[in-house]
Structure 1
């Protein structure tokens, strides 16, 4: 049966399955069939647009990054081949497939029992992020229950973090009562919160480095389209340092600059289409919330204990100006850091295009302060490189065992997006140790976070909003509050 489920989902893909889920959820939220149908269509169109852009741009940016690497002469043994191989292996492993079915049921139960206020099934395609960790654990331990338990635990703490950032994320990205909940990207909320006092101490909150500030100070040169050209020129030149006197090199540099500019111009348009899939659903949730709030004489959404959130694909935030600008700036920075970081064995390549996905939580928590986003990214993803280096042997063995192809000439592979995750790596280490003390510690920390969230959720959200407001920037659009 599991094999048939895998074949079913692989046959139809996210661009069909996700719209069907959106349609069902929309009807459940009492949207009219016409609105529900349009939400589903927008979801399919948006996902297709994301896929086209990323699939076209990934080999282009990968080629430039590889040239940059080759010109340095530095060789790192672990090569990032992208998250797709990990996703394929997840659906090819028995533990991964089991979690896809059991985990979906668990997500409904966790929501309806009130353990979480995040409705995760609306973002079921990102379940492969939980499945890959169970797949790796099963490859190492051959213990079914430990591996399945790891995937389930990853789900539990992801839902806690998704709810902690939910009010802040929905305010910043402008779709009320929504949040992102991809396990590979949600953990960035931890350094975003913990490191913020340090950045304020250094005066980063006083630096008005936002898309709006770019536009006000630099006019046309502050537009995302123009910034794409500038960043493209810089990255292109770094990839052609030894051949700058040739016509061929400048041809590639200028073409890459235009292509990056196109991505930074078109992606926000696709994001707007994708967001239309969730806006009616979020409005319906808010309408019901306000009705309940009036019945209980409670208008403030911060203090509404019944308020819940729809999990949305993080593609909703990818094209937002501060998000995509920060992510693109981090591309050459992370390549350079990979070279100079003592003991690092991992070379980020293909998943560098995923950096805007990876910084969304940081952007929301810092209210679009690009300097803070980059600083957080440098610290957290640098630690993540060590995690990816440690996991390389396990990841390579697991994905090759469960059906993913490894490029010729590469010995060890990784996914920068999936594996460069310090917290996830620590949890993984605890579970594969089979040591009840370490596993128990993970569970105890989760229960403590859950208790704090249930008891002090309004205070947590208020703190995060006050923290965001300390940044010296104005709301750059109606999406920021």
Structure 2
């Protein structure tokens, strides 16, 4: 069974996600034609998103790398990015078991009314597999690694339920949430930061959402022009010639325009599924609300998220250079930065300045954690027979540097079972107060 799962996982998200969505839509009564077209449309939108985010890494990310080399800087640990990290995560029996574990947990929580999230983003269970692999590498305990995957996924369902009302209001997505390993932790980081920002005189009055910026700066505030300017500046700092600078500027502007359009294609495919799910729940479970757990790729096309992400690429490189003790050279995960900040931006109300400041604080912690995590990631890659080429030390900037990953791995080293158990208990209590207790009050 695990071999069959491994084969299916190797097909990748652009294939798995449409199949799951089509099957799910038919179960909900959407009909074969509508379900098939919905799944196919989501697959097309997902491929489009990957192409555009890939362009982000290949253009702006590459220019940032050239900029580092130009100034004679050297860092010893290579960021391999999420595609390699996901392949490493699913490269063992422990890793592939994250899928049946994740599905079982979701069904259990739904049956007992402890979550509103029906997670159909099965491919992204690799985040739990990644954490489990690191815990195993730290503790050499298979049971603790499995227990960590269980606690980690329960935590993500809690974060999905917790963030859903804010995300639905900001993005306008009906009954959709993001229990996504890369994005959900950022939501919890943004909450206390926003509380602090609200209490800083002057800063708390600063309005800097895309609409306000467009009004104040005219054409310079247009998202495409902002992308052009960011691309031109990075190209100049990289020492590109005039032609390359102009090309980078136009390509960055294209990313700002194309990414929202790809998200709209994804939403076109998800709309009939969301409608069918709502009808299904209303008929069979009157009064009960259901969120569809999706890949946070749906959120990265927002104008504020894009603007913050483009600014964070050169800022992340600058942080990597100036932070004492950092060993990580950002590279593979440049295109993942939008996923790290996309659930922070709604908390900040789309305020670009707040989001960039919050992003810098968050990325500072990520760089330090991912540098500490590098030996384990390298060890896990070797255990999965993953070819790391000429690199002697590798890491995954975004996934390997998140506070959520750090908690589980640090706990496995210093307080095995205790930290993991505490996370599980806190998450379950949080889910109870969000769902069961609220349902009792409403009745």
Tell me the TM-score normalised to structure 2 length.
Answer: 0.93
**1:291 shift after superposition:** 7.1
Figure out how many residues of one structure are paired with residues of the other and give that number.
Answer: 438
**1:403 shift after superposition:** 2.6
Inter-partner Cα distance in structure 2 for 1:457 and 1:216 = 41
1:56-205 superposed matches below 5 A: 56-120=55-119, 122-202=120-200, 203-205=202-204
Judge conservation of contact 1:96–1:134 (CA < 8 Å) in 2: yes
Judge conservation of contact 2:232–2:245 (CA < 8 Å) in 1: yes
SS at match of 1:375: helix
1:377-396 superposed matches below 5 A: 377-396=359-378
2:297 to 312, 315, 319: 315
Inter-partner Cα distance in structure 1 for 2:187 and 2:356 = 14
Cross-structure match for 1:5 = 5
SS at match of 1:364: coil
Cross-structure match for 2:382 = 400
Judge conservation of contact 1:363–1:373 (CA < 8 Å) in 2: yes
SS at match of 1:328: helix
SS at match of 1:75: coil
After superposition, give the CA deviation of every residue in 1:25-66 in whole Å (9 maximum; x if it has no partner).
Answer: 112222233322221111110111122223344232332111
**1:286 shift after superposition:** 4.1
Cross-structure match for 2:17 = 18
Inter-partner Cα distance in structure 2 for 1:13 and 1:385 = 28
SS at match of 2:394: strand
**1:292 shift after superposition:** 8.5
2:236 paired with 1:237: yes
Inter-partner Cα distance in structure 1 for 2:203 and 2:175 = 29
Cross-structure match for 1:423 = 404
Cross-structure match for 1:470 = none
2:286 paired with 1:324: no
2:261 paired with 1:261: no
Inter-partner Cα distance in structure 2 for 1:73 and 1:355 = 24
Judge conservation of contact 1:205–1:369 (CA < 8 Å) in 2: no
Judge conservation of contact 1:86–1:404 (CA < 8 Å) in 2: no
Inter-partner Cα distance in structure 1 for 2:300 and 2:419 = 36
Judge conservation of contact 1:146–1:432 (CA < 8 Å) in 2: no
**1:164 shift after superposition:** 0.4
After superposition, give the CA deviation of every residue in 1:86-106 in whole Å (9 maximum; x if it has no partner).
Answer: 111111111001222332233
**1:434 shift after superposition:** 5.7
Relative distance call for 1:288 and 1:101 in structure 2 (3 A) is: closer
Cross-structure match for 1:462 = none
Cross-structure match for 1:224 = 223
Tell me the TM-score normalised to structure 1 length.
Answer: 0.86
Cross-structure match for 1:465 = none
Relative distance call for 1:204 and 1:288 in structure 2 (3 A) is: farther
**1:452 shift after superposition:** 3.4
SS at match of 1:195: helix
2:262 to 261, 270, 285: 270
Relative distance call for 1:8 and 1:283 in structure 2 (3 A) is: closer
SS at match of 1:363: coil
Structure 1, 320-329 or 61-70: larger mean CA deviation = 61-70
2:283 paired with 1:284: no
Q: Give 5+ residue unaligned stretches, structure 1.
A: 241-247, 296-303, 459-481
Inter-partner Cα distance in structure 2 for 1:452 and 1:105 = 22
Judge conservation of contact 1:338–1:346 (CA < 8 Å) in 2: yes
**1:107 shift after superposition:** 2.3
Judge conservation of contact 1:95–1:138 (CA < 8 Å) in 2: no
Judge conservation of contact 1:164–1:457 (CA < 8 Å) in 2: no
Taking only aligned residues, the RMSD between alpha carbons, in angstroms, comes to 2.1
Inter-partner Cα distance in structure 2 for 1:29 and 1:375 = 43
**1:400 shift after superposition:** 2.6
Structure 1, 377-386 or 65-74: larger mean CA deviation = 65-74
Judge conservation of contact 1:351–1:416 (CA < 8 Å) in 2: yes
